[in-house]
Amino acid sequence: MALHNLNKLIFVGVVAVTAASATSLEATLANIDRAAGLTGLSADLVYKAYTASIQADDTETGKFFFKRTKKHDVRVLFDVQEPEPKAYLFDGPELQMYLPKEQTRQHYDVGKYKSMVNQVLLLGFGSSSKELLDSYSIQLGGPETLGAEKTTRLVLIPKSPDKLGDVNRIELWISDATGVVTQQKFSAVSGDYKLATYRNIRIDPRLPDSAVRLNLPKGVKEEYPQK
Mind listing the pLDDT tens digit for each residue in 34-70?
998 899 999 999 999 999 999 999 999 999 999 988 7
Task: Report the pLDDT value the prediction gives residue 160, as an integer from 0 to 100.
Answer: 83
| Cα–Cα dist 45/76, whole Å | 12
DSSP state at residue 192: -
Mind listing the pLDDT tens digit for each residue in 82-92? 999 999 999 88
What backbone phi and psi angles, to 5 degrees, belong to 156? -115, 125
CATH number assigned to the domain with residue range 3-223, chosen from the 4 options 3.30.1600.10, 2.50.20.10, 3.40.50.300, 3.30.1360.120: 2.50.20.10
Chain Cα centroid distance, residue 47: 11
| Selection from 141, 183, 120 nearest residue 25 by Cα | 141
What is the three-class DSSP state of 35?
A: coil
| Cα–Cα dist 73/79, whole Å | 20
Chain Cα centroid distance, residue 2: 51
> Contact, 93 vs 109, CB < 8 A?
yes
> Contact, 127 vs 108, CB < 8 A?
no
| Cα–Cα dist 168/157, whole Å | 6
| Cα–Cα dist 30/17, whole Å | 20
Instruction: Give, for all 227 residues of the chain, the pLDDT tens digit.
Output: 454 444 444 334 433 333 344 448 999 999 999 998 899 999 999 999 999 999 999 999 999 999 988 766 789 999 999 999 999 999 888 999 999 999 999 999 987 766 667 667 778 888 899 999 998 999 999 999 998 899 999 999 998 877 677 889 999 999 999 999 999 999 999 999 999 999 999 999 999 999 999 999 999 999 999 88
| Selection from 2, 222, 224, 11 nearest residue 103 by Cα | 222
